[in-house]
Structure 1
Amino acid sequence: MARRKKLVKVVLGVLVGVLISQFSNREHTCSQSRPKAAAAAPPPARSDDNLVFVGVMTAAQYLDTRARAVYETWGRKLPGKVVFFSSEDSYSDQVPLVALPDVDDSYPPQKKSFMMLKYMYDHYIDRFEWFMRADDDVYVRTDRLEELLRSVDSRKPWFIGQTGRGTTEEFGTLSLDSDENFCMGGPGVIFSRETLKRMAPFVEECLSNLYTTHEDVELGRCVRRFAGISCTWSYEASDCDCKMQVILYHNQSGQAAFTGDLKQKEVHRAITLHPVKQPRHMYRLDKYVKALQVQSYQQEKIELHRDIAASMEELGFRIRNLQNASLVEGLPLFPESRGSEKYLGDTSLLGLPGRLTRQQPRNVDDVLDWELISKTLYSWRDLNPRRRIGSCLKEGLSDVVRDIMEVINSYSKQRGRVIDFKEILYGYWRLDPVHGVDLILDLLLVYRKYRGHKMTVQVRRHAYVQQTFTEISIREVKNYDFPYMSQRSSTTAAIPVHQKLVKHLVSTFEQIPPILHPSPPKKQEVINFVLPLSGRYKIFRRFLKMYEDVCLKRQEEAKLFVVLYQNDRSSDFLRSGALIEDVQRTYGSDAVVAIYTNETFSRARALERGLSLLSGDDLVLFMDVDMIFHPRSLQRVRQNTVKEKSVYFPIVYSLYNPRLLNRTYPDNYSFFTDDIVDEDSGFWRQFGFGIVSLYKSDYVGLGGLNLLISGWGFEDVTFYDNAIKSSLRIVRSVDPNLIHVYHSIECDINLDAAQKTMCLGTQANMLGSLKQLQKVYERYEEVVVS
């Protein structure tokens, strides 16, 4: 019963809080201050939020940008009051502003800083426990600030900030004694009420005795002189790591700070983040922090469901029946059904305890396969088990490791130690679409003990992690523009979305200058296909029909060079030549160029023969007759191949043996569409390098193909190795529109060892998927074993 009440209180509390915040945002009117008159009439403080008063130093030019972004993000959530301080001629109807008399916006802002503190003392010293000096480019996590300040006795003198003694170049020039320091102003400086009481009455004396041009240095000197304390290095709190350089974080990247990936441990641990130079990044950072809070609430929700499930299990209820369970007659455990706004979630899903055996397979197909994580990923999903760890998995592992380290170090202070993550030695992971993700990680950590017997040692620990999937939810978000980009007032009625769209389109077109002399579209690069061919008449007929439909009929900028070998099957040779002549009569002799030869077949020599008719500036695509391609493939060739810069080795999709699939592949190329690409029909040929596009000049620069290689394969592998060693960029990407149609491979017993191994490996890979081969084995196990 207590658990249920706790869950209901949490959910209702969140809903009420959201409704109150939305109402206050709509009804709130910004406090206005007139120049000079503002200092005499400070806006009233809320009596129930008297923890901290934050004074934000800004300038007139930033009032509608940086200052407004601060006020509309963390400024509204502060457990106290935020007021902006600027020069005497400043005015804003967007933020609560105090225009300081006889103060300008010159830099350094020493007078502005001291007079702001004097203003705090004169008007608010008895109304707030803490006072904070902040810049307009700092982001404050107000919940963590409140947690810190409520854990410290404000009746004592405290001067809290990120401690500094100046840069190496400034050492000895700041007039600081060996035991003196200052709080760096950027990440924020916090004063207890007692500190401000001691220091503020003497700010004018401090201003008349400045030794440097550094505002934060002089502020620290004034606090040291009249309050008798220095900047706090750290505060020993029982439930947080309060090293100032960690919780009041200054990013050394300058203008680029917090513009990239925010999934950093510094962002997650900090109370203040500095500097955030652009308003849009302030809104982005605020949105990210809100998402972290949502995740925290979701985790709390899952833990409450687990508590409910465990408690009800003690009463004899099975977890799958909890949705219809009642505590007593007439008092259901979950009064609201699925679909209701007050529906509390499915405990049969969210309440499952964390254990690796919670997914119970009913048959072999339900068994979840583990994948091995090491320097690379070893997976059962492909015939090539070793794969690169994808960016999604990397990001997920980083998130998990960061959360694990936060849990491990949550009580590090009282234990006098800290544990740092070094690397993942190996791990296993699996994905269940219903329950979530399971992880087993072997972590290499660094254990540092700084109390008692100090030590630093590397340790290995296993972490068993489960990420439970919550239910799917849909949230409707209003069309939102960053407030600093709009000048509409808070009383303006909401503009309908369709009117916003029309207004945006009209304004966009108004900014486009008229085109007096439109330039013709840029002509596409000609792709020169080079195709070696020996026999294979039926396959060549399919390829030529496809080339005609894709390139010739569509007037694609392409040209086909067929190097035609005469072999023992003379009928194939003659019929293939007749097909080429038919196309030439229809589309012209330049549509398809035939190069006849009676040499022994060699793919490398054939490609060289085709290249001999091209110039160095021509774009070349080495092609096989078994390939099916699409216009989109030609577009990718042009985009990924750049002269003297990049060579494109597409990863083609290779079809399995159709006999194993109980199907046949017709001669019509149109049968092979995107729908055929799945894990049962074929595989991605990651180690195939025969299809390649490049410029002839780059081909020559790479030394060309090894013409001494005869027979099956291997010439493309050596050419790929040469390309990797060059300065050219290698582009490798899967192309679902490049399909290699299955054909049987005969491995000549006279091939050398390397070629023969590669040939047999390709022959085996093309048989079928592991799942299909397993079924064949199970069906004919007795024959195979015998």
Structure 2
Amino acid sequence: MYRNILCLALGLIIGIRLTDFFEYFQLTESQFGSTALTELDDEATPQLPTEEELARWLYNETRVLCMVLTMPKNHQTRVRKVKHTWGKRCNKLIFISSQEDHELGAIDVGVPEDRNNLYLKMRKALEFVYKNYAEDYDWFLKADDDTFVIMENLRFMLYPYDPEAALYFGHRFRTTFPQGYMSGGAGYVISRDALRRLNLFAFNNTRFCPINNMSEDRQIGFCLQNVGVVAGDSRDEEGRDRFLPMSLKIMLPNFPTDNWIHMLTFYEPVNETGSSSGISFHYVKNHEFEMYEFLLYRLRVFGTPWSQRSLPPRLEVKQMQNQLNYWSQENSTNPYPWLRQD
């Protein structure tokens, strides 16, 4: 009898503690998720996190390794600028070069510096990252040393997607193969599964991924397509580009629309100021790195703090598959109907 009473008492205690745990878990999820917040009582309602809190949380939730393509002559200029500005927000930062520098985090991939060797250099970088870091990070970003990346916006965009899905994002250009490819200058980000497919299947098959001296970004895009990696749509809800292959001035409304970007872009250009959730800018000059850093991370209208925000929902498996199927079908049709087809 006493044993039964003791078991009952222990069961009640454990049940109460489990209830407290699940209430805490639901509160934590509601703070960072996009679902409606549940009131704990009539007087207390959990608050959304500030953008600063959200950035810290996403840093651990959506882990990004950054690979920055550079060369020895830029180690003391651009490389240091990247390292002390946006690069410090990467979960892991690696500079891909032909000369090792432990202080800066530059590795020598054994490829001579030449513009015609950029594709081979990137292949070696992806092989190195796969061998050493494939299971430690979720996404793998490639950028140039004159690119500035807003890592918080990148993680925010990537959050809904499973890194075990075969997909990648960037600024899409059209070319001779259906899916197109992502601009190397604007930066492109590939999932863990895409990195795996490149190394296990593409790089070991010259038909899927031939070695040549064509442009790095186009060839990586060709290899990714041939092993089933889907090119995702990284534009915002208004159809505005978030990865910019040119400098910030392209976002201005009066920027000429007949430049080479608009001739190559995969989607119909939106003729208005660029996305408020922009991710990357290319052709950043040395003195502009600190300018971007100040404008983005220190300057505030009236000095106000960051506002509160919620995350977009995670995509369920079926939703993810539907999204990939949609993008795959989109890639197989005419992606630029506004151009006359000869």
1:289 aligned onto 2:296 = yes
Deviation at 1:216, TM superposition (A): 1.1
Q: CA 1:91–1:2 in 2, change beyond 3 Å: closer, same or farther?
A: same
* Counterpart position of 1:216: 217
Partner SS, residue 155 of structure 1: coil
Equivalent residue, structure 2, for 1:111: 120
Once the two structures are TM-superposed, the CA of residue 164 in structure 1 deviates from its matched residue by: 1.0
- Please tell me whether residue 249 in structure 1 is matched to residue 244 in structure 2: yes
More strand per residue: 1
- Contact 1:251–1:275, Cα closer than 8 Å, also in 2: yes
In the aligned structure 2, how far is the partner of 1:147 from the partner of 1:97?
Answer: 27
SS of corresponding position for 1:275: coil
d(CA) in 2 for partners of 1:300, 1:270: 17
| 8 Å Cα contact 1:64-1:92 kept in structure 2 | no
TM-score by length of 1: 0.28
Q: Is the 8 A contact 2:62 2:155 kept in 1?
A: no
Asked whether 1:122 is paired with 2:118, we answer: no
Q: Superposition pairs for residues 701-716 of structure 1, below 5 Å?
A: none
Q: Does 1:191 align with 2:190?
A: yes
Question: Equivalent residues in 2 for 1:224-623 (5 A)?
Answer: 224-226=225-227, 228-234=228-234, 240-241=236-237, 243=239, 246-251=241-246, 265-266=273-274, 268-276=276-284, 278-291=285-298, 294-295=300-301, 298=304
Instruction: Tell me how far apart the structure 2 counterparts of residues 61 and 199 of structure 1 sit (CA, whole Å).
Output: 30
Which structure's relative contact order is higher, taking Cα pairs within 8 Å and 6+ residues apart?
2
Q: Which amino acid aligns with 1:241?
A: E
Deviation per CA, 1:660-696, whole angstroms, max 9, x where unpaired?
xxxxxxxxxxxxxxxxxxxxxxxxxxxxxxxxxxxxx
Shift of 1:231: 2.4
Retained in 2: the 8 A contact 1:55–1:83?
yes
1:67 CA displacement: 1.1
Matched, 1:138 2:147: yes
| Alpha carbons of structure 1 residues 257 and 62: separation in structure 2 relative to 1, 3 Å | farther
The letter for the 1-side match of 2:74 is Y
Task: Find out whether 1:86 has 2:97 as its counterpart.
Answer: yes
- 2:139 touches 2:190 (CA, 8 Å); kept in 1? yes
The count of aligned residue pairs is 242
TM-score (norm 2): 0.61
Is residue 69–residue 142 contact of structure 2 (8 Å, CA) maintained in 1? Answer: yes
Equivalent residue for 1:70?
A: 82
Secondary structure of the 1:269 match is: coil
Give how far 1:224 is off: 1.3
**Partner SS for 1:246:** coil
- Aligned match of 2:19: none
**Counterpart-to-counterpart distance in 1, 2:205 and 2:292:** 39
2:73 to 61, 70, 93: 61
Q: 1:107 to 1:232 in 2, by over 3 A?
A: same
AA aligned to 2:97 is S
- Structure 1 pair 222–288 and aligned structure 2 pair: CA distance change class (3 A): same
Output the amino acid matched with 1:144: N
Choose between structure 1 and 2: higher helix proportion. 2
> Residue 225 of structure 1: CA displacement?
1.4
For residue 279 of structure 1, give the secondary structure of its aligned residue in structure 2.
Answer: coil
Q: Which amino acid aligns with 1:279?
A: N
C-alpha contact (below 8 Å) 2:153/2:277 kept by paired residues = no
**In 2: Cα distance, 1:210 partner to 1:92 partner:** 28
In the alignment, is the contact (CA less than 8 A) between 2:119 and 2:213 conserved in 1?
A: no
Aligned residue type for 2:155: E
Cα deviation digits, residues 259-304 of structure 1 (max 9, x gap): xxxxx9427431111121x221111111111145x44982667x9x
Residue 149 (1) aligns with residue 158 (2): yes
Q: Report deviation, 1:95.
A: 1.6
Distance in 1, matches of 2:213 and 2:242, equals: 27
CA contact (8 A) 2:50 2:306 kept: no
Deviations for 1:247-269, whole angstroms, at most 9, x for unmatched residues? 1112269xx879xxxxx942743
For residues 100 and 191 of structure 2, the distance between their equivalents in structure 1, rounded to whole angstroms, comes to 30
Does structure 2 retain, via aligned residues, the 8 Å contact 1:212–1:218? no
Cα distance, 1:232 vs structure 2: 2.3
- Per-residue CA distance 1:480-514 (angstroms, 9 max, x = gap): xxxxxxxxxxxxxxxxxxxxxxxxxxxxxxxxxxx
CA–CA distance in structure 2, aligned partners of residues 221 and 10 of structure 1: 40
Measured in 1, the distance between the counterparts of 2:209 and 2:224 equals: 15
Cα 1:211–1:268 shift into 2, 3 Å: same
Distance in 1, Cα, partners of 2:238 & 2:119 = 28
Distance, in Å, in 1 between the alignment partners of 2:50 and 2:222 is 47
Partner of 1:203: 203
**Contact 1:74/1:141 (<8 A) preserved:** yes
Gaps of 5+ in 2: 1-42, 252-271, 313-342
Per-residue deviation at 1:50?
6.2
CA contact (8 A) 2:95 2:107 kept: yes
Distance, in Å, in 2 between the alignment partners of 1:273 and 1:234 is 14
SS class of match (1:289):
helix
Alpha-carbon separation, structure 1, partners of 2:130 and 2:162? 19
Task: Report the CA distance between 1:192 and its aligned residue.
Answer: 0.8
Once the 2 structures are TM-superposed, how far is the Cα of residue 165 of structure 1 from its aligned partner?
A: 2.0
Q: Rate the CA distance shift 1:188–1:300 in 2: closer, same or farther, 3 A.
A: closer
* Partner Cα separation in structure 2 for residue 122 and residue 208 of structure 1: 19
Measure, in 2, the Cα distance between the counterparts of 1:215 and 1:10.
39
**How well do the aligned residues superpose, as a CA RMSD in angstroms?**
3.7
Aligned equivalents of 1:49 and 1:296: distance in 2?
A: 31
- Residue type matched to 1:62 in 2? N
Change (3 A) 1:112 1:289: same
Query: CA 1:242/1:248 → structure 2, altered by over 3 Å: closer, same or farther?
Result: farther
Paired letter, 1:186: G
Task: State the Cα distance separating 1:64 from its structure 2 match.
Answer: 1.1
Residues in 2 aligned to 1:152 and 1:249: alpha-carbon distance in whole angstroms: 21
Do the aligned partners of residues 211 and 10 (structure 1) sit closer, same or farther apart at CA in structure 2, a change above 3 Å counting? Answer: closer
Identical-residue share of aligned pairs (%)? 21
Query: Which amino acid counterpart does residue 245 of structure 2 have in structure 1?
Result: H
Residues 94-122 of structure 1, C-alpha deviations (whole Å, 9 max, x = no match): 42121113x12211311111111111111
